[in-house]
Structure formats: structure tokens, C-alpha cells
Amino acid sequence: MYELPAFGSDSPIRTHLTGYDLVTKPMLNKGMAFSERERDVFRLHGLLPPHIGTIDEQIERRLRVMRAFNTDFERYAFLRDLQDTNETLFYAVLIRHFDELLPLVYTPTVGEGCQHFSEIWRKPRGLFLSYPNRHRIREILSDSRFDHVRVIVVSDGERILGLGDQGAGGMGIPIGKLSLYTGCAGIHPDLTLPILLDVGTNNHERLTNPLYIGWRHERIVGAEYDVFVEEFVSAVIERWPNVLLQWEDFAGSNASRMLAKYRDRLCTFNDDIQGTAAIAASTLLAAINVTGIPLTHQRIAVLGAGSAGCGISSLLLRVMVDAGLNEEQARKAFFLVDRNGLLLEGMEGITPAQTPFVQQRDVVKDWSLGKPDQIGLFDVVRNAKPTVLIGVSGQTGAFTEPVVREMAQNVERPVIFPLSNPTSRSEATPQQLIEWTDGRALIGTGSPFAPVQWHDRRFDIDQTNNSYIFPGVGLGVLAAGAKRVTDAMFMVAGKVVADMSPTVSDPHGRLLPPVDQLRAVSVAVARAVAIQAQADGVADVCDEATLDKRIQAIVWEPRYRPYELVVA
């Protein structure tokens, strides 16, 4: 179809496509920016208006249309259509207007996009691997148009943000994540592949929707599910031995299990577990620049002890050990609260991921409790006096006024991260947290929130978004030729983002770098990750100058290049 040129070069793109076939190929379409010569050579006269435009004009035209819509969902659908029409233009718009478009391309609007994915689906993007087609997986993956794939994001749609099972609509997540791999880290779209494992859905609303595009069947579970995932992973390893595979929005019981099962068989990670943990660590380290409380003196309460909560706790524990605590001391600093209350020794149903954070009953024997048979979040805040409160529960309003006010009585600058997505699932709003702490809270949210005006002060709200982490991790993996993804790679990624925090030089600054610096952040993360991959013995070894050249060679800039016709 066309030859993928060396990235970073100005060499022409060579293709045999002409006319309608050319302008309907999203990665090749330039719209009215095709030159007069290209219109002659590729037989485009008449298909296009006579005006020869520029990408700058096209960006302005698309922004005007997008901004005229009434809702963010309409804008999301418009941008998805633009991506499926002209990918170069889509990414040019995204990169130049990250602050405006990131909430539209990804959280929080992608959640609504997944809920209504069947209604807006128009053109194929990525692969739907359905359970009835399990015997065809290798055949589907074998298509030559996937020869260049280096990064895959896969979901089974069971736990989409805080919205639950969306079935085939969960494809919106891999598409959105890979858009950020390209937008933030410059990984060429042709190197990426979104995949949805369609194993059915237990969402009655989806199953009864006549427009639903997925397999109309209750979700496959147990051994059948595991065999299907194994077939998929084995086929991926066979097709792309060096691919980076990211697991996304799997249910907690499967997320940790799949990561543990496959992390030593291919280059893979789970962003909900590891990426969320890394950016939470970044934001906490930045907050410490403001509070002055050393990491070794932090007490951390986490609401939600699923894969995300345990992943955050595990990485923070390693960072605390790295800062000087021994592991036993660090474990005592964590208070994880799940649906049955604080994790305590002797509780039934404790998972392997939760085990390191189970508190001894001696710790709570003298606590003042509201209900003696269950220790809730308020009990933890009142008795353990945490300096940090993290929410990954998906429970709207779970950080209640009594909880937050109690925390603010015990800590001068409470660090509070309601991280559940989308916005409708946030444990508290920034406005509430600022009011209940008299403006003293340091806040990081999972979804974007507008600045808060309180008395005569304006509070800009930092979005603790995984986009600060995973695109750079992917870029670093590709540049280093990494064969595996290690926990240490995520720890250094989190530290790099913290080192770029405005609070390093200004205690009144924002906790995280501005969103419009995401490309610079991703390159810095990639460099650190690649160096760590070499130190961990899972990557090609090269000097730093060579590594920098590799990173630069991978990063793609969305601009129009000249075309040459290949005669078949």
C-alpha cells in the first residue's frame, strides 16, 4: 500500500495508491494540502476542491467546527471521525492543543465514548477478537498491514474506568490510549494496534441494545476465558516476538493475575496497576516539596484495595524503602480500606496483592471505632491520622465532609488524591476538598477539573493522569529494545515526572508539569526508562548518546511529507 519511511527523515512517502483510494487512507490523506504536482500525479483533480491549503489552515478549520458543538461527547465523536479520516491532521490538532483536547480524546469523555461506542462506530480501527472467532486469531493477526506493529493496547471491556462492563464498547480505551502514545511520545500510528477481546458482556443494557456491535452473549469466565486469553497471547508472541503489550481496564481479579502470568513471557505491563502507581508516586513526591514531610514519615490511606490501589501501594512502598525505610517499617505506613473495611489480619478473601498491606490487629486494638465489627475510612482517618488520602474506589463522594475535615484537623497540608475516573466517579470534587480543608489541601484528581475560586484565591487542579507515564515508558521500551518491563522502570518514570514538577523551584507551583509539556515529559521518561532497562539487563546496551539518537529517530512529528508514485 505504501512504504513506511525512516522516522525523522524528510524522504518522500512512496505509494501505489491513487485517486479515491489515496484520499480515503487516513494515514495518507492530506485533504486540500495535496500539492498541484501531487494532484497531477495521483489523479486527485476533481476529487478535491481547487484550493491548495496548509495544515495550519486545516487545524484552524477543524477547531472552529469542534468548538461549535454543544457537548464534549459530540466533540469526542468529531475527533474520532477526524482520526479515521486524516490521522496526520488529527495528531497535529491534538499536539498543538493538548490542554483543550486531552479531556476529549481520553478521560473523562472517553468513558461516554465507550458507553455509546456502538452508536458512533463508523470505520474499522484496530481488531475485535471475539470468542466465536477464537480459532481464527492467528489468521486475523497475520494480515500484512500489521507487519510494523510494535505497541498493542488490549482490553476486554469489563472494567471501563469506573463505569463497569461495556463489552465491545471498551474498544474506545485502547484507541484512546494509543492516541496518547502517538500524541505524547511520537510513536507512529502505524506501529500501534488497539485490540478488544470480545468475550461477551454482563451489561444488560448493552445486550438489549439493538445497535450493540459486540458478541451478544454473557461474559465468558473461568477456564474458557483463560484458554482464550492464552490463545491470544501465544498468537501475539508468535506474530510479534518483540511487541510491547499493554493490558487496559480488565477487572481487578483478572488484571493482577494476567500481569503475573505473562510479564515474564513477553514485554508487557498493566497501566491500571503500574502506570497509575507511577503517576500517584510522582504527584506525592511533588507534594512533599510543599509539605516538607519526608517520604519516610508519610502515613498513607487508600480507599479501594483492588488492582489499582494495591499497585499504587506497592510502588509507593518500594519508593519508601528506596528512601531509607526497611520493608516492615514501610508496610506499617499503609492503611488500605476495601468494601469490608480496613484490611486486617484474619480477614477472609485477602488476595495475594493485598497481603503485604494487611494491618495487624494489635495496631487497632485501642482505636476509637464507630462500628466495632468494621473499620471504615473515617475510623482510619481519625485513628491512623494519615498524611495522604488516595481514592481508587469508583465510589462517587466517598471522601465525605466528615472524613476530609477530620484529616484536615490532624495534618497541616493534607494530600488528597481522588483518582477514580471519569469525573462522575470522583471520590470528591476539588471544590469540596478546598472548602473542607480551608484551602490547605494539595489535590491531584484522576479526571480534569476546572480551576477553583475560593475566597480571593484561584486553585489550579492537577490531573494525576497516566498520560504522564505510559507513553514515555513505551518510547523508552522501543528505544532500548527492551524484552521485558520491570517495576524499577516505572519507579524511575515516576521520579522523572516528580523532578519536572514546578514545585521543585516554587513551593506555590502546580504539582505536575503543564499538559502542553507532555511531549517533553515523555522523552525525559523514555530516556530514564531505557537506561533502567539496560541496568535491569532486559535491553540492548548502548551509550547515552546513541540512546538519545534512537529516541529522536522514533519520535514522529505530524506534518505532511511529499509523495512519490510507485508504479506496480
Last residue of a domain, one of 445, 467, 489: 467
Query: For the chain, what is the mean pLDDT?
Result: 95
Does 272 appear as a known binding residue?
yes
Cell numbers that stand for 157 in this block: 471491556
Q: Which is the catalytic residue, given 30, 76, 177, 563? A: 177
* Furthest C-alpha separation in the chain: 84
Q: Are 229 and 279 in a shared domain?
A: no
365 assigned to active site: no
Characterize the bridge pairing of strands 334-338 and 341-342: antiparallel
Report yes or no on 37 lying in a domain: no
Q: Are 235 and 290 in a shared domain?
A: no
Q: What confidence score (pLDDT) does residue 5 get?
A: 56
Report yes or no on 402 lying in a domain: yes
Last residue of a domain, one of 432, 467, 502: 467
Q: Are 484 and 418 in a shared domain?
A: no
106 assigned to active site: yes
Q: Are 235 and 301 in a shared domain?
A: no
Q: Are 216 and 365 in a shared domain?
A: no
Q: Are 405 and 365 in a shared domain?
A: yes
- Count of alpha carbons within 13 Å of 313, Cβ hemisphere only? 32
Closest CA to 170 of 309, 260, 308, 272: 272
Mean pLDDT value of segment 2-14: 70
Q: Are 398 and 540 in a shared domain?
A: no
Report yes or no on 376 lying in a domain: yes
The span from the CA of 244 to the CA of 554, in Å, is 15
pLDDT at 335 over 60: yes
Q: What is the pLDDT of residues 339-354, one digit of tens each?
A: 999 999 999 999 999 9
Confidence of residue 121 (pLDDT cuts 50, 70, 90): very high
Other Cβ atoms closer than 10 A to 160: 27
467 alpha carbon, distance to own chain's centre: 5
Cell numbers that stand for 31 in this block: 485533504
Report yes or no on 379 lying in a domain: yes
Q: Do 566 and 19 touch, CB atoms closer than 8 A?
A: no
The phi and psi torsions of 500 (rounded to 5 degrees) equal -95, 0
Q: What is the pLDDT of residues 453-493, one digit of tens each?
A: 999 999 999 999 999 999 999 999 999 999 999 999 999 99
Q: What is the pLDDT of residues 390-416, one digit of tens each?
A: 999 999 999 999 999 999 999 999 999
DSSP 129-163: EEGGGGGGHHHHHT-GGGTT--EEEEE-SSS-TTS
Q: How many structural domains comprise the chain?
A: 3
For residue 200, what are the domain limits?
Answer: 54-250
Q: What is the pLDDT of residues 493-543, one digit of tens each?
A: 999 999 999 999 999 999 999 999 999 999 999 999 999 999 999 998 999
Closest CA to 474 of 184, 244, 172, 217: 244
Does 249 appear as a known binding residue?
yes
Can the peptide bond before residue 108 be classed as cis, meaning omega within 30 degrees of 0? yes
Report yes or no on 106 lying in a domain: yes
Q: Are 494 and 441 in a shared domain?
A: no
Q: Are 306 and 424 in a shared domain?
A: yes
Q: Which is the catalytic residue, given 91, 106, 181, 262? A: 106
**AA identity, residue 289:** N
Last residue of a domain, one of 467, 486, 510: 467
Report yes or no on 319 lying in a domain: yes
Does 248 appear as a known binding residue?
yes
456: three-class secondary structure by DSSP: coil
Q: Are 356 and 504 in a shared domain?
A: no
Report yes or no on 410 lying in a domain: yes
pLDDT at 449 over 70: yes
**AA identity, residue 89:** L
Q: Are 66 and 185 in a shared domain?
A: yes
- The radius of gyration computed from the CA coordinates of the chain, to the nearest angstrom, equals 24
Cell numbers that stand for 320 in this block: 519508601
Report yes or no on 214 lying in a domain: yes
CATH of the domain at 431: 3.40.50.720
Q: Are 447 and 476 in a shared domain?
A: no
Q: Going by C-beta distance under 8 Å and a sequence separation of 6 or more, which residues neighbour residue 342?
A: 335, 336, 359, 364, 375, 376, 379, 380
Q: Where are the alpha helices (DSSP H) in 117-262?
A: 117-120, 137-141, 172-185, 204-207, 222-239, 252-262
